[in-house]
Amino acid sequence: MLSKILPITLGVALFMSNSNAETQTSLKIDYEKYTLPNGLDVILHQDHSDPIVSLAVVYHVGSNRETVGKTGFAHLFEHMLFQESQHVPQDQFFKKILDAGGTANGFTFNDGTCYYETVPKDAFELITWLESDRMGFLLSTVTQESLENQQDVVQNEKRQRNDNTPYGNRNFVLGKTLYPENHPYNWQVIGSLEDLQNASLKDVHEFFKKWYGPNNATLVVAGDFQTDEAKRLVEKYFGEIKRQSEVTPPEKNHVKLDETRKVFYQDNFATSPELTLTFPSVQHYSDEAHALDILSELLTDGKNSPVYKKLVEEKKLVPSIWSYQYSSELTGEFRIQTRTFPDVNLTEVEKAIFEALEDFEKNSFSEKDLERIKAKVETKFYNGISSILNKSFKLAFYNTFTGSPDYIEKDLQQTLGVTKEDVMKVYEKYVKGKNFVSVGVVPKGKTEQAVKGSKEFLIEEEEILAEVVSEKRKSSADLKIEKIPSKFDRSVEPPKGEAPLVKVPEISEVKFKNGLEIYLIENNELPLINFSLRLKGGMLFDKKIGTASLLSELLLEGTKNKTPLQLEEAIDNLGASITTKSSKDFIEINVTTLSSKFDKVYSLFEEILLEPRFDEKEFSRLKVETIEYLNREKTKPTSVAAKVFPKLVWGDSHKLANSEIGTEAIVESLEIDDLKNYYRKYFSPNLASISVVGNISMNKVKSSFKRLESKWKNQKVEIAKIEKPKEIEKSKLYFVDVPNAKQSVIQIGKTAFAQNDPNYYPTYVMNYELGGKFSSRINLILREEKGYTYGARTRLHGHLNFGHFFANTSVKSNTTFESVQIIKEQLENYRNGISEEELASNKLSIIKSNALDFETLGDKLAMLKKVAYYGLPKDYVKVRENIVQKMTVEKHKDLAQKFINPDKMVYLVVGDAKTQLEPLKELGLGEPILLNKDGDEVIQ
């Protein structure tokens, strides 16, 4: 029986400009909300545009519900809920969703935890069964063994995200300095290694019972379903779950600083200092929080912002600077943050920031500045509701934290309603003359770069061990674990409905006389248009490596008739986004705009493409920033691996051995004429394709882009040819030393096929079981069985004329030898083939997942690029489905034996040589070859 029925229809005040008509139509986000007798809030939102259904559950429990000494529990449960429940066996949650062609994940933050799935609509009942089983029937499976496994996984996640990366401990130091010890924001969401290690089974059982009941949750169902059926399934699967103890919302807990606090810590990986100034502010979903959001944009966003002008342009202390309002449930933080150039003293940076704030007070800002920022906010809002999953998140969060989903309308309107007076009021109240927390990060051994008067914050470091050791953990042997009764047999997996007919979006195309090709998918769900111009070539045309990369950035720094500042303001005033990107084989210009502003935004795009300014001042600035970026990346183990691995796979002399960004020395040598020559020679329409998706017709596309036919001359350029690399005759193991690394980054692989090579997609299918999905062999062993890593994959990347295959993971340092050995063994075992059952499961998963591939404008744009850039047929989705259908275990085994040979691959480990190098000699890969961080051999 359903109680407290409250059907609500919400017509959000959004208007869609239809390119095919003069009229404007209102876009409504309709929903119905009701509450089950057990307290579960249910929100239903129908969207029949794609044959998919999304389900999201938000529990009103995050790290703010934890206590001192027992931190990280909410995040630990995020992991535990994916393992097994009473009626869903170990590791089957992900497998069942993947087999259904769906996706699933979860995340934890200070104030809540969210779990979500998106599947083809025939699996709607499946995810309702799965999600309800872990809400109501989890604790009977939370044993000492399962707890210890996920303790290992979470600890590895912490090492990967915090302990083994530059600036990874900044937020930890900030929380400890800003908040009192018992404040819920004093600790990090992921918790401490010590607390995670000491968590007992009894502790986690009690935490779950207190916070994870239906009366502390919101369930959102969105997508292509019938309301009556959805209510029946929700009632069947969630209705019998018992309420837990009553939960009251946490009280606001603002911080008042009686003095300014300044601290710093020494970072093992950072090469440049970082400074974060934090002013206590206000909680989320409040009028003041919206005004602070606007303030943050005014202070640091854009070339005309006072803080940017002072620190980047005038004093040249930093390459960039940003600020933001970090809003949470209990309180908020207003942060100003920057990473400096290597030799800068943070005292100078802090002084310059306050000088810039004085400039802001003195000069204020214009109404035009305010409208520019609001225009960007509006476009961002539309992008934020482009998928049913994103709509689910918004409805669930608004319901959880404001009490009603209808705040989705108020949220945007509150921001658009912020006045100049509102902004100055919050500046005066929270920033001007107020006490703050300063957190400095300085490279190890360079304490003189810290802000004068700062106290050093000592980071307790985990000891790096040479080999695997068993770790003692608290036991709760006396804890009685019993089965949880149900009114029906939940062990029976619900049958799937009739498979939905996946309608691949219709593609239109036009080719102009100058060789330019344009592809369109028209979609009128939102008042948005995305388009992307991609030019073949990229780094492959570079005479000096890094030319194309720097050119792509310089394109946005002004045009013939607009200064860099004028161009930036012109884009922002329209609420548009224009970005550029370069890679080893292309340069790209990406545009997002409201359909009502398309004409004006298109004109700016055309200026950028055809009339670049080649501004000398911005060129010099970008060079300095690029060199600083390359300098920073040298201390990040994952970045080191990404740079070195191509050199080993392709060979030192091969062009693809290089990073498209270049090296510090080459970038320093670049002159603006190098960029002009590249543009003149290689920006040719016969190498270009434009992909367009959104609220626009083909007639409009033709009439708009037609101007390029006469304005853009065909240079008749041929794409640079790629020389074939030498075959790897015998595997070798290479090691890059990063002293004190808490994890080892492992990459193992070889060259592979281009995206349009006939062998590419069959090989992609073949790799799926090995490491192409969460429930793959490599991930299940290294993460779920051993607890060595946060994740492990094998990937096949196909580009225009080349490709590569690699296995990659980051593992706890003292498991390096075992992890490399396991991957090597799994590669060898995989050559023996997979079972009929495994193949059938993979085929089903790959084909059914197509239902999710065309939902958003971004999805459609990605599809178009495969046709436009790689030359795949318009029906490539069906062609590839046919390849999957025809795959047999015999073909699979043949592909694996031809392609996967662990004795002919490159093995790379980036980690702590002092503890990890010696054991690797026993792997049978010969003497490890020690390299520096540029990939050059170290002569010992």
83-87, 122-126, 350-354: lowest mean pLDDT where? 83-87
On whether residue 940 sits in a domain, the answer given is no
User: Where does a domain end: 711, 740, 757?
Assistant: 711
Q: Structurally, how many domains does the chain consist of? A: 4
DSSP string, 532-562: EEEEE-GGGG-SSTTHHHHHHHHTTS-BTTB
687 and 782 part of one domain:
no
- Please check whether residue 252 lies inside any domain of the structure: no
Q: What is the pLDDT of residue 442?
A: 98
Range of lowest pLDDT (25-34, 71-80, 704-713)? 25-34
- What local confidence, expressed as pLDDT, does residue 8 receive? 33
CB 415 within 8 A of CB 377: yes
pLDDT score of 306 more than 90 = yes
* 637, two tokens: 């183990």
Q: Buried b / exposed e across 430-444, counting CB within 10 Å, b at 16+?
A: bbeebebbbbbbbbe
Q: What is the mean predicted confidence (pLDDT) over 209-214? A: 95
**Residue 489 maps to a domain:** no
- How many Å apart are CA 633 and CA 70, to the nearest integer? 35
Of 456, 472, 489, which marks where a domain is finished?
456
Report which of residues 802 and 311 the model is more confident about. 311
Q: How confident is the model at residue 140 (pLDDT cuts 50, 70, 90)?
A: very high
**CATH number of the CATH domain containing 452:** 3.30.830.10
Indicate the DSSP class of residue 853. T
What lies within 8 Å, CB to CB, of 870 at 6+ separation is: 754, 755, 756, 798, 800
pLDDT for the residue numbered 97? 94
- At residue 446 the predicted structure's pLDDT band, cuts being 50, 70 and 90, is very high
Q: Are residues 176 and 141 in the same domain?
A: yes
* Together in a domain, 212 and 276: no
How many angstroms separate the CA atoms of 836 and 842, rounded? 10
Instruction: For residue 400, name the pLDDT band (cuts at 50, 70, 90).
Output: very high
- Are 573 and 371 in contact by the 8 Å Cβ rule? The answer is yes
∠ Cα 92 96 102 (to 5°): 135
603-656 per-position pLDDT tens digit: 999 999 999 999 999 999 999 999 999 999 988 999 999 999 999 999 999 999
Tokens 């770069």 locate to: 449
How would DSSP label each residue in 725-752?
PPP--S-EEEEEE-TT-SEEEEEEEEEE
Q: How confident is the model at residue 443 (pLDDT cuts 50, 70, 90)?
A: very high
Average model confidence (pLDDT) across the chain: 92
Percent of the chain exceeding pLDDT 90 equals 81
Please count the other Cβ atoms lying within 10 Å of the Cβ belonging to residue 816: 28
- Asked if residue 398 lies in contact with residue 406, where contact means CB atoms within 8 angstroms, the answer is yes
Cβ atoms < 10 Å from Cβ of 209 = 12
Q: How far apart are CA 902 and CA 900, in angstroms?
A: 6
The H helix count followed by the E strand count for the chain is 32, 27
Is residue 105 within 8 Å of residue 773, measured between CB atoms? no
List, for residues 826-848, the tens digit of each pLDDT value: 999 999 999 999 999 999 999 99
Tell me what pLDDT residue 164 has. Answer: 80
425 and 524, same domain (yes or no): no
Query: Distance between CA atoms of 286 and 295, rounded to whole angstroms?
Result: 14
Q: Are 621 and 751 contained in the same domain?
A: no
* SS3 state at 190: coil
Residue 13's pLDDT is what? 37
Sign, CA torsion 74/76/77/81: positive
Tell me the pLDDT band of 675, cut-offs 50, 70 and 90. very high
The pLDDT of residue 26 is above 70: no
CB atoms within 10 A of CB 361: 14
Dihedral of CA 918/923/925/926: which sign?
positive
Dist. CA 902–CA 253, nearest whole Å: 56
Summarize the confidence of residues 433-454 as an average pLDDT: 98
CA-CA distance, 674 to 699, in Å (whole number)?
Answer: 39
What tokens appear for 292 in the block? 């602070």
Does the global pTM surpass 0.75?
Answer: yes
Q: What is the DSSP letter of 926?
A: -
Burial (CB < 10 A; 0-12, 13-18, 19+), residue 586, is buried
Do 887 and 693 touch, CB atoms closer than 8 A?
no
Instruction: Show the tokens assigned to 301.
Output: 């966003």
In a domain, 936, yes or no: no
pLDDT above 60 for 936:
yes
Contact status, residue 789 vs residue 778, Cβ threshold 8 Å: no
Q: Are 181 and 44 found together in one domain?
A: yes
843, 883 in Cβ contact below 8 A?
A: no
Q: Which neighbouring-strand residues pair with 262?
A: 438
pLDDT in tens, 577-614: 999 999 999 999 999 999 999 999 999 999 999 999 99
Q: Is the dihedral of CA 722, 723, 727, 733 positive or negative?
A: negative
* 578 and 522 in a common domain: yes
List of residues 6+ apart from 522 with CB closer than 8 A? 506, 508, 693, 694, 695, 696, 697, 698
Domain's final residue, options 182, 203, 238: 238
- Residue 168, in any domain of the structure: yes
Q: Report pLDDT for 461.
A: 75
The CA-to-CA distance between both ends of the chain, in Å, stands at 76
Give me 243's structure tokens. Answer: 């309420």
Residue with the bigger pLDDT between 29 and 911: it is 911
Can you tell me the mean pLDDT for 371-397? 90
Share of the chain above pLDDT 70, in %: 95
The DSSP bridge partners found for residue 332 are: 327
Read off the DSSP letter of residue 141.
Answer: G
User: For residue 466, is it within any domain?
Assistant: no
**Cα dihedral across residues 400, 403, 408, 412: positive or negative:** negative
Note whether 138 and 604 are within 8 A (CB).
Answer: no
The predicted pLDDT at position 501 comes to 79
Q: In terms of domains, do 553 and 437 share one?
A: no
82/53 same-domain check: yes
Give the pLDDT of residue 476.
54
The Cα 379–Cα 375 span in angstroms is: 7
Using CA atoms of 460, 465, 470, 475 in order, give the dihedral in degrees to the nearest 10: 0
Closest CA to 915 of 707, 665, 678, 744: 744
Tell me whether residue 835 is exposed, middle or buried, using C-beta atoms within 10 angstroms of its C-beta: 0 to 12, 13 to 18, 19 or more.
exposed
Q: Which of 298, 318, 411, 409 is nearest to 364 (CA)?
A: 298
Q: Which has the closest alpha carbon to 105: 97, 113, 119, 117?
A: 117
In the block, which residue shows the tokens 């102009």? Answer: 512
* Rounded CA separation 380/215 (Å): 33
Is the pLDDT confidence value at 469 over 80? no
The rounded distance, in Å, linking the Cα atoms of 811 and 797 is 22
Residue 644 contacts residue 931 (beta carbons within 8 Å): yes
* Alpha carbon 29 to chain centroid, angstroms: 26
Strand order in the sheet with 906-911: 789-798, 803-812, 743-752, 906-911, 732-737, 929-931
Helical residues (DSSP H) of 186-257, grouped into ranges:
193-198, 201-211, 227-238
Element housing 344 (H / E): none
DSSP letter at 578 equals: E
Q: Do 631 and 744 belong to one domain? A: no
The CB-side HSE value for 774 (13 A sphere, CA atoms) comes to 19
Is pLDDT above 60 for 5?
A: no
pLDDT in tens, 225-271: 999 999 999 999 999 999 998 999 999 999 999 999 999 999 999 99
Q: Please work out, in degrees rounded to the nearest 5, the angle formed at the alpha carbon of residue 164 by the alpha carbons of 445 and 339.
A: 60
Q: How far apart are CA 148 and CA 786, in angstroms?
A: 10
Whether 464 is in a domain gets the answer no
Residue 73 and residue 189: Cα distance in Å, rounded? 9
pLDDT band with cut points at 50, 70 and 90 for residue 195: confident
Asked if residue 528 has pLDDT above 50, the reply is yes
Lowest mean pLDDT among 70-79, 361-370, 754-763, 874-883: 70-79
* Segment (H or E) for 339: strand 332-339
Strands 803-812 and 743-752: antiparallel
Structural domain includes residue 115: yes
Do 707 and 826 reside in the same domain of the chain? no
557 burial type by CB count under 10 A (0-12 exposed, 13-18 middle, 19+ buried): buried
- Residue 681's closest CA among 805, 568, 537, 801? 537
Judge if 428 and 565 occupy the same domain: no
List pLDDT tens digits, range 696-738. Answer: 999 999 999 999 999 999 999 998 788 888 889 999 999 999 9
**What pLDDT is recorded for position 465?**
59
Give the mean pLDDT of 76-93. 88
* 3-state secondary structure (DSSP) of residue 258: coil
Q: How far is CA 202 from the centre of its chain?
A: 34
795: part of which helix (H) or strand (E)? strand 789-798
Tokens representing 926?
Answer: 């010969």
State which residues form the domain around 577.
Answer: 508-711
pLDDT category at 29 given cuts 50, 70, 90 is confident
Q: How confident is the model at residue 165 (pLDDT cuts 50, 70, 90)?
A: confident
